[in-house]
Structures are given as C-alpha cells and as structure tokens.
Amino acid sequence: MFDFYRNRRISVADYNNFKRFYRRKLEDNKRSFNDILLRNSNNKSKTVWKIIRGETTSDNSSDLSIYYDDKLVGDPVNLCDLFNDYFSTINGITTNDTVLNHSVKLHSNSMFLDSATISEVYAVIIAVSKKMSAGLDGIPCNILGHVAEFLAYPLTQLVNQ
C-alpha cells in the first residue's frame, strides 16, 4: 500500500481513508477477540487483567535479527558489525582505524568531578524526583529526600576525593 502511495497511484485522501478503515477493523477484531476470551473464561477477573496487561505492556524486545546474504543473523555482535560495515561504506567513505584509535584517549579508571560543597550536594539530593517509583534497587526516590541531610556530608567527601 505504501508503494502505491509513494508512486502516487492512489491519492493521499484514499490512502488516509484506507488507513482509517484498517485501524477501525483492527480495533473491532481486537474487541471481538477479547469478548470471546471473556465469554469462554472460567476466571473472568484473571482474564480481564491478562487482557489489560497485554494492551498496556510495552513490547520492547531486543531480539533483532535480519537476513543478510540469505542467512539469518541474530547475534548482536555480528549485527553491529554488519551495520557498521554498511554505514561506513554507504558513500564510499571508509575510515582508517589507526586514525580513530589515536585520536581518542580513553581513561576508563578515572572520573573527574569539580569540588562541591555540602549545600550543593544537599540541593541535588532534594531535587531528585519525589515519586514513589523505585529503581532497580527497589528503593523509592522519595526516600532520598528524607535522608538527604545524612547523605550530603558523605557524598560530598566522595565527590571531593
């Protein structure tokens, strides 16, 4: 359909009408599928929550695979190499690895911070979000605000070392 639109074989209005029709059909089919699931369910509450979870959960899977030279490539390292090869030669421009390696010096064992005062560190801690949402550690953000006065001095010492 997109090829027809791009080549101007159909009008923009027709394309938009078809797109609208497709979306409505998709919504109707989802609705009827969910109705059938609910009608045939023994545990309606569990089924409702399963439907809600399915509709609201993001589908961000990082399982990317592509076909290259009639082979399925799914390994992330090989994919990176393929994309790197493609984009580095797309305009006939190739990079010289020796130039790249000598132009950037990495210091992976060091971190540089300007010296800070206790009041600056305290202000940063207080500025952290007050939401109840937790990070990977399971500790809600709003707890930092409650213990900011206790954390400010040790964190200042760490920053200034």
| Residue 51 CB neighbour total at 10 angstroms | 16
Report the first-to-last Cα separation within the chain, whole angstroms: 62
Predicted confidence (pLDDT) per residue in 2-55, tens digit: 555 566 677 888 888 999 999 999 999 999 999 999 999 999 999 999 998 888
Alpha carbon distance 46, 55 (integer Å)? 14
Which residue intervals of 40-75 are DSSP H helices? 44-56
Predicted confidence (pLDDT) per residue in 84-111, tens digit: 888 787 766 555 555 555 555 666 666 6
Alpha carbon distance 154, 118 (integer Å)? 9
Residue 72 has pLDDT above 60, yes or no: yes
